[in-house]
Chain A
Amino acid sequence: MKNKLFLGLVAIMFVTVLASCDKIPQAEIDAANAALTEAQAAGAEMYIPQDYLLVKDSLNAILAKVEVQNSKFFKKFGECKEQLVGVTALASELKGKTDVRKEEVKKELETALEEIKVVMEENNKLFAKAPRGKEGKEALEQIKAELGVIETTVGEATNMLASGDYLPALDKVKAAKEKANSILEELKAAIAKARR
């Protein structure tokens, strides 16, 4: 009887010590950090900034919670582990979302580039047809300079497309397209005027 009591006391002490020794979920923390870094590298911060910020904040909240748990005598990381798995999934989802958004912007950029190329081809055709008389020479010289600037901008945007810099390239192409369209109208008007 006394032996059993002694063994019981030792067991209580052993369980107490064991209970206070739950380990920090380092593997889960590393996995969550890696997933978020991957999403960031994919461009989440630029393409879906609000979502990125939310996931980053969730991870920060869990990391703080882990440290608070770590300060306790009886550490329990079970809930933190679950949350870390959840945030890792969110971060992976974030990467997927970023890729989708990036693809959308890329397509928009490609379409805009295609459109501007069509407008520029049309511009070049009309430029060749534009009245070459001395009446139009001065205006044509200016248009030629403007077309040159647009071509340069399109070239820059194409390079940006190749390097994955889609968002800033899109603004560039939109502005160039606006200018190319105005030149198209100008050339059409000049040709129509010459025909009259």
Chain B
Amino acid sequence: MKKKIYKLILVYSLIALTIFGMVLTILIVTSDEPPAKEIDDARKALYEARKSGANQYAILQFKNAEISYDSAMYYLKAENQKIFFKRDYSSCYRNALTSYNKAIEAKKDAIAVSKNFKKYLEGKIDSVDSFLNHFKDIFISLPLETNIYKDFTKGKMLLAESKYAFDNENLTSCNTKLDLSYQYLNRSYEVAKLLLNNYFTLYPKWQSWAYEAIDYSKKENTNAIVVDKFSKKLYLYNNGKLKYSTEIELGKNWIGFKVFQGDKATPEGRYTIIKKKNHPQTKYYKALLLNYPNSEDKVRYDKLKTKGQIPGNKSIGNLIEIHGGGGQGANWTDGCVALSNKDMDKLFQLVGEETPVTIVGSLLSLSEIMKNNML
């Protein structure tokens, strides 16, 4: 009897175990499988996208791809917590697939954008560079405040920094530095432009003075000197034709009229050579003394004096000359026009007393000067 019971228990146990095994096998075989391949593909695509700089150049797509990947992993973990036959990996699958597609898209976009961005930055560097180069020569010679020069230098240095960042493939940093560089350069440029715009309102007057001087030399078959302060040039006309031209240097505050003694400004107007001086009559090698102040200068001085715009007891000044000692590479005179001794020799030989000297701000209009200086 006891044996029979054991036998029955054994038989039932075996049957139960077989059924359990069969059910388990069926459940295992039919249970949902995690999308291992899709997850792996998405991860690889993300790696490639990041390597291509998608985190910088295709930020949105890349971020979406990352979020989808993280979601896929989240669903994978969450489903794994459930009993195996209740698992459903469809959300994980969908997210892995989305992540893959977005990562591929991000990589493609990043390659295109970085290529375009590089080109864009190359163009931007060239642009700021040429802005600086065209503006540099004009800017350096302008009488501006120290702070403006500081801004200008800061802009130049930021431009150099942006070039290093570009070489190191730090394109975002390069872009930021370029923007900053342009801001600094442009700020100093705007100040300079304002100064020049105000100054060049006199351009029509300069034009007519220069025209009259050349016309006079033609009509009278004589010499006439025209000094262009902006281009730092002196022109000698004879019989209406350009006979000689040379580089000059002026007073530090060369922009504007000379108003009083010691303002370091070179006068503008129509003058005449009243005396030719040889060494030792002048300490600047040789000199051509002009009849500054003329009547217009005197009227201007008196007007400003009445308005209280002449500091202290400053006089109108005198002894404005075209003299030697130039070639220093700076505007250094007290208001005279300086030539190198070699050029002075030549001019001294060509002109005599009574030669008209017309000093103008510029022979070119501001738009002609700045034509290529705008970004």
A158 proximal to B (CB < 8 A):
no
Q: Are B164 and A145 in contact (CB under 8 A)?
A: no
B112 proximal to A (CB < 8 A):
no
Q: Quick one: given A71-B79, A138-B252, A145-B150, are A53 and B161 in contact (CB under 8 Å)? A: no
- For A177, give the chain B residue with the smallest CB separation: B160
How many angstroms between the C-alpha atoms of A73 and B83 in the bound complex?
10
Q: Which of B36-44, B119-127, B194-202 contacts A (4 or more CB under 8 A)?
A: B36-44
Q: Are B161 and A149 in contact (CB under 8 A)?
A: no
A136 proximal to B (CB < 8 A):
yes
Q: Are A67 and B329 in contact (CB under 8 A)?
A: no
A192 proximal to B (CB < 8 A):
no
How many angstroms between the C-alpha atoms of A13 and B16 in the bound complex?
12
The residues of A that contact B334 with a CB separation of less than 8 Å are 134
Q: Quick one: given A6-B10, A135-B330, are A53 and B50 in contact (CB under 8 Å)? A: yes
- For A174, give the chain B residue with the smallest CB separation: B164
How many angstroms between the C-alpha atoms of A146 and B150 in the bound complex?
6
User: Which among A13, A71, A135 is the interface contact of B34 at CB below 8 angstroms?
Assistant: A71
B152-181, CB < 8 A from A: 153-154, 156-158, 160-161, 163-165, 168, 170, 173
Q: Per-residue CB proximity of B88-99 to A under 8 Å, as 1/0?
A: 010000000000
Q: Are A2 and B164 in contact (CB under 8 A)?
A: no
A78 proximal to B (CB < 8 A):
no
B28 proximal to A (CB < 8 A):
yes
Q: Quick one: given A13-B17, A149-B157, A175-B160, are A57 and B47 in contact (CB under 8 Å)? A: yes
A136-185, CB < 8 A from B: 136-139, 141-142, 144-146, 148-150, 153, 167-168, 170-172, 174-176, 178-179
Q: Are A73 and B84 in contact (CB under 8 A)?
A: yes
- For A136, give the chain B residue with the smallest CB separation: B330
User: Which among A61, A73, A142, A168 is the interface contact of B140 at CB below 8 angstroms?
Assistant: A142
A15 proximal to B (CB < 8 A):
no
Q: Are B328 and A135 in contact (CB under 8 A)?
A: yes
Q: Are A2 and B6 in contact (CB under 8 A)?
A: yes
User: Which among A2, A9, A71 is the interface contact of B80 at CB below 8 angstroms?
Assistant: A71
The residues of A that contact B153 with a CB separation of less than 8 Å are 145-146, 149-150, 179
User: Which among B6, B17, B34 is the interface contact of A67 at CB below 8 angstroms?
Assistant: B34
CB distance from A102 to the nearest CB of B (A): 15
A31-90, CB < 8 A from B: 50, 53, 57, 60-61, 63-64, 67-68, 70-71, 73
B interface majority secondary structure: helix
Q: Are B157 and A67 in contact (CB under 8 A)?
A: no
CB distance from A69 to the nearest CB of B (A): 10
The residues of B that contact A178 with a CB separation of less than 8 Å are 160
A5 proximal to B (CB < 8 A):
yes
Q: Are A138 and B331 in contact (CB under 8 A)?
A: yes
Q: Are B164 and A53 in contact (CB under 8 A)?
A: no
- For B249, give the chain A residue with the smallest CB separation: A135
The residues of A that contact B331 with a CB separation of less than 8 Å are 138
Q: Per-residue CB proximity of A5-33 to B under 8 Å, as 1/0?
A: 11001000100000000000000000000
CB distance from B311 to the nearest CB of A (A): 20
Q: Are B13 and A9 in contact (CB under 8 A)?
A: yes
Q: Are B10 and A5 in contact (CB under 8 A)?
A: yes
Q: Are A149 and B150 in contact (CB under 8 A)?
A: yes
The residues of A that contact B161 with a CB separation of less than 8 Å are 171-172, 174-175
B7 proximal to A (CB < 8 A):
yes
The residues of B that contact A57 with a CB separation of less than 8 Å are 43-44, 46-47
Which of B43, B160, B163, B330 has the largest number of chain A CB atoms within 10 A?
Answer: B330
The residues of A that contact B333 with a CB separation of less than 8 Å are 134
5 contacts across the A-B interface (CB closer than 8 A): A2-B7, A53-B51, A145-B149, A171-B165, A179-B153
**Complex A-B, nearest 8 residue pairs according to Cβ-Cβ distance, in ascending order:** A175-B160, A145-B149, A135-B332, A135-B328, A175-B161, A171-B164, A149-B153, A57-B47
